Amino acid sequence: MRVAVWYNNQDVRVEEMLVPQIGRGEILVKVITSGICGSDVMEWYRIHKAPLVLGHEIAGEVVDVGEGVEKYKEGDRVTVAHHVPCNTCHYCLSGHHSVCDTLRSTNFDPGGFAEYVRVPAINVDRGVFVLPDEVSYEEGAFTEPLACVVRGQRLAHMQPGQSVLVAGSGMTGLLHVALARALGAGSVIAMDTISYRLEQARRFGADAVIDSEDDVPARLRYVNDGRLADLVILCRGAWLTQALQSVERGGTALIFAATREGVTIPIPVNELFWRSEITITSAYAGPPENSATALELIRARRVPVRDMITHRLSLEETGLGFNLVTHPQEHDCIKVIIEPQR
């Protein structure tokens, strides 16, 4: 089978690999759609493991089932979670599934930029979701990223009526904008430096937009009735300082994006915590319960994910897809979908 092998963001090669052989409790999925995630292009995070077959936002068709698999059958349309928790460790039992050691070690074989993937038994047990008839393959590929967004807003205790600032209006930021709007945010403000992204933020539910090169707290007060934001969601790590400066007293900052490796910043402890009672929290990944919620949001059209797709490319064009995602200022690009069967 063909796979797209990542050596670095500028070097993605289509190579041949044997179709994985499945064992007991496993399934083989023919990948129909596979999204490029912002984390896929975090070169500093992945380069020491290269070469890799990346891709974890997938939807496809079950083409083979191993002995003992009863819940799924050939022909099922599915989306698959690449990371799944054990559900029994200290972290899972306390609600912190995303820091479970099992979750961080599970994956399918190889990555989603391939014609087929083997889904291990533990993923089959708790990380495979049949797509409703109303959900297309390309919409199904959004289940994993939207699950991460769902979990993030839950951990941040987003409430109807709150004002929300989304700092970064790439694909993940737009999912946050759309979800906050669907969940009843009082006002949603999006921030970015790329005009195309700000236009898209308005399209997906932002009431106002802010150029990140402006005085963000001042602009935020101007568009938000004199107040900062009750919830600030950081979707671009470079704007961490601006994000913390934009949280209203009693509000929350959700650190959703990674910074560059090794970044530290000074924090005015008295001003943020002692005097202003600001909460800082973070979110990583989206365990299966969040995937189920995300899939229902997609099915119900509460989050219009299909409209976020700007590019549909073949497996041979995966390198082009990485170029689009790594240079957003040069392209009108939000979501790139790879279609391995083309």
Q: Are 342 and 314 in contact (CB under 8 A)?
A: yes
pLDDT at residue 75, rounded to an integer: 98
Contacts with 325 (C-beta within 8 Å, 6 or more apart), sequence order: 36, 38, 40, 41, 333, 336
CATH assignment at residue 35: 3.90.180.10
pLDDT of residue 300: 97
Pick the closest to residue 184 from 208, 150, 164, 160 (CA basis). Answer: 160
Tens digit of pLDDT for each residue in 141-190? Answer: 999 999 999 999 999 999 999 999 999 999 999 999 999 999 999 999 99
Claim to verify: residue 141 and residue 290 sit in the same structural domain: yes
Instruction: Answer yes or no: are the C-beta atoms of 145 and 93 closer than 8 Å.
Output: no
Confidence of residue 270 (pLDDT cuts 50, 70, 90): confident
| Residue 152, in any domain of the structure | no
Same domain as 164, residue 250: yes
My answer on whether 278 and 223 are in the same domain is: yes
Tell me if 198 is assigned to some domain.
yes
Q: Point out the least confidently predicted range of 74-78, 289-293, 316-320.
A: 289-293
Tell whether 121 and 213 lie within a shared domain. Answer: no
Q: Which helix (H) or strand (E) holds 64?
A: strand 57-65
Are residues 278 and 289 located together in one domain of the fold? no
Alpha-carbon distances, residue 37 vs 20, 56, 226 (angstroms)? 24, 8, 35
CA dihedral 172, 173, 174, 180 (to 10 degrees): 110
Q: Residue 262: its pLDDT value, please?
A: 84
Percent of the chain with pLDDT over 90: 91
> Is 50 a domain residue?
yes
Domain of residue 192, CATH code = 3.40.50.720
Q: Out of 242, 257, 282, pick the residue that ends a domain.
A: 282
Q: Of 282, 302, 325, which residue sits at a domain end?
A: 282
What is the C-alpha to C-alpha distance for residues 229 and 234, in angstroms, rounded to an integer?
Answer: 12
Q: Sorting pLDDT into bands at 50, 70 and 90, what band is 268?
A: confident
Shared-domain flag, residues 240 and 314 = no
Confidence of residue 287 (pLDDT cuts 50, 70, 90): confident
**Smallest Cα–Cα separation from 43: which of 235, 314, 322?**
322
Does residue 86 contact residue 96 with C-beta atoms inside 8 Å? no
| Torsion sign over Cα 60, 61, 67, 68 | positive
Number of domains in the chain: 2
Residues 227 and 142 in one domain: no
Mean pLDDT (whole number) for 15-33: 98
Does residue 238 or residue 27 have the better pLDDT?
27
Distance CA 170, CA 32 (A): 23
Residues 177 and 276 both lie in one domain: yes
Cβ-based neighbours of 329, under 8 Å, separated by 6 or more:
193, 194
Cα distance between the two ends of the chain: 13
One domain for residues 226 and 303: no
Any domain includes 27: yes
pLDDT tens-digit readout, 212-256 = 999 999 999 999 999 999 999 999 999 999 999 999 999 999 999
Tell me which residue range forms the domain holding 312: 2-147+285-339
Whether 66 and 24 have beta carbons less than 8 Å apart is answered as yes
Rounded to two decimals, the pTM is 0.96
For residues 17 and 74, state if they share a domain: yes
Residue of 144, 63, 102, 73 lying closest to 340 (CA atoms): 63
Q: What per-residue confidence (pLDDT) applies to 97?
A: 93
Q: Provide the pLDDT for residue 264.
A: 87
SS (H, E, C) 84-131: CCCCCCHHHHCCCHHHCHHHHHCCCECCCCECEEEECHHHHHHCEEEC
Are 134 and 14 found together in one domain? Answer: yes
Structure tokens, 38: 């912002």
Given 266, 282, 298, the domain boundary residue is 282
Same domain assignment for residues 169 and 193: yes
